[in-house]
Amino acid sequence: DAGVIQSPRHEVTEMGQEVTLRCKPISGHNSLFWYRQTMMRGLELLIYFNNNVPIDDSGMPEDRFSAKMPNASFSTLKIQPSEPRDSAVYFCASSSSGGGSPLHFGNGTRLTVT
């Protein structure tokens, strides 16, 4: 089991540029989550997919953020245009169905917007 795979591990970009973060969930998991972690705000849920369908995107901070899950093995989180306040570690996590099913996190993408 390769675990949840995120790319890139690090991204440094200039304000105004488009950023795309990628995630491959664990095979067989039907739920996928995007979280953002900062010192000030902790771990925030941005969006949650179940069976490739977005269930709750109320955590997406603004229209500059969008997420897609075109199939069960791939998801993207896009920020356009990026701003310095978007600098954070972005985690993707997946889980199987079931109340107690744990989230398996990827190693995260550390985004720095200058």
Partner 1 sequence: GQSLEQPSEVTAVEGAIVQINCTYQTSGFYGLSWYQQHDGGAPTFLSYNGLDGLEETGRFSSFLSRSDSYGYLLLQELQMKDSASYFCAVKAASGSARQLTFGSGTQLTVLP
Binding site for partner 1 (CB under 8 A): 33, 35, 42-43, 45, 48, 50, 55-56, 91, 93, 99-100, 102-108
What letter does residue 52 receive in the DSSP assignment?
Answer: T
Nearest distance, CB of residue 63 and partner 1, angstroms: 21
Nearest distance, CB of residue 21 and partner 1, angstroms: 14
Nearest distance, CB of residue 66 and partner 1, angstroms: 18
Pick 25 or 106: Cβ nearer partner 1: 106
Nearest distance, CB of residue 28 and partner 1, angstroms: 17
| Amino acid symbol at 76 | T
Calculate the alpha carbon distances from 51 to 30, 58, 103, 110 in Å: 5, 18, 15, 27
Residue 31 half-sphere exposure toward CB, CA atoms < 13 A = 16
How far is Cα of residue 68 from the mean position of the Cα atoms in its chain? 10
Residues, the chain: 114
Pick 12 or 43: Cβ nearer partner 1: 43
Closest C-alpha to 109, from 30, 19, 26? 19
Pick 72 or 103: Cβ nearer partner 1: 103
